[in-house]
Structure 1
């Protein structure tokens, strides 16, 4: 079977058998990959240090029919706060779960790999809740499941002032095309979302957020994810339990 090398972010780790792990890697070269790491739970395993959540690694893998196999994993970067701070870890897990849920396996997405690297770096210095919110909205734009936020999803008109919003209708709606299930969509929320989509993750980029906009944007995102999946994400359940 063919061997290959890939730069990878560790987005999922699960115990398997007595000493092995199943890992989900997001690679620059091949996109999302699930792989077996045999013996990775043994204390002296050369794979143990690299295959931790949120690490960036250089991995050598062997292709398999159902799962690839991790042969080596050299640590490139270990995000300290994501491994030690419970809030950062929880919101980082939410971002990782979004990628696992909505991106297809083995489809290269170098732009998302770059974005995730910037997002994980931002968790080290910024408010974890705000970082996760901005990352989630930007990631959903890459999935093909994005909603319309600036224009009416029905007529295409550029929105001005307050409007309405419906996941089932495809997003924002003008007053003339308001759906029965639509909820209010204030202009200030639309402007806040526009800033989220334009956020470029530079170290000195501003991310000032009002409480009202934060809560409204979270509610909109969570409602959409629930509508898509039919069940809440495990990471969001845990974050809710944290209070």
Structure 2
């Protein structure tokens, strides 16, 4: 191989190594550290067509709860976990508070009940994956849409709704926590976790003004955890409820 063909082959090889051509390569290094208004964040961006899944229980019905168990579940399918994050609020038994759909099966029905806490700071919403893409919708809008998702998790409150912050967020609020959430803009799916305590207003502004996602959903607060091997980040703690993960084919299967 000489001349132009060799140069083209070299370019394609280097591009794939840098994650510029291969979708799996870009997914493998999708997380990066950043600072917004003085607060530290990790931001992980994917395409809606990447292998984004939700995990709750194993085949025996036991709660998965930990990133390492998600990793082992995927490894048994010949896949490598490249990102994971807690994905919605849950009860003491780790069952989801609101809607939860996994592999097209509705495990928990959608909730429109009023109550206390962040989940009931309405409007709350749903993050979902379908065969056609991904989205975040207010709960009432999601119900009206009649969407049939492959994966879905309900949480709250909404952070950004059609480009506007949740109307209950106060710019001068004093309640600050580590927080994580997800925003969607067309084919872009952006997960973010704050490593410093921030207000809802700050967190919502990050999705609206920096990540540029017109709709975004809060996932949880002080228990928020992240698995991002490209950053050598392997958070560990008490078992969780729903977990969102992204995987690529294992090295041996490529």
More strand per residue: 1 or 2?
A: 2
Interval containing the TM-score (normalised by the shorter chain): under 0.3
Q: Which has the larger Rg? A: 1
More helix per residue: 1 or 2?
A: 1
Larger RCO (CA within 8 A; separation ≥ 6): 2
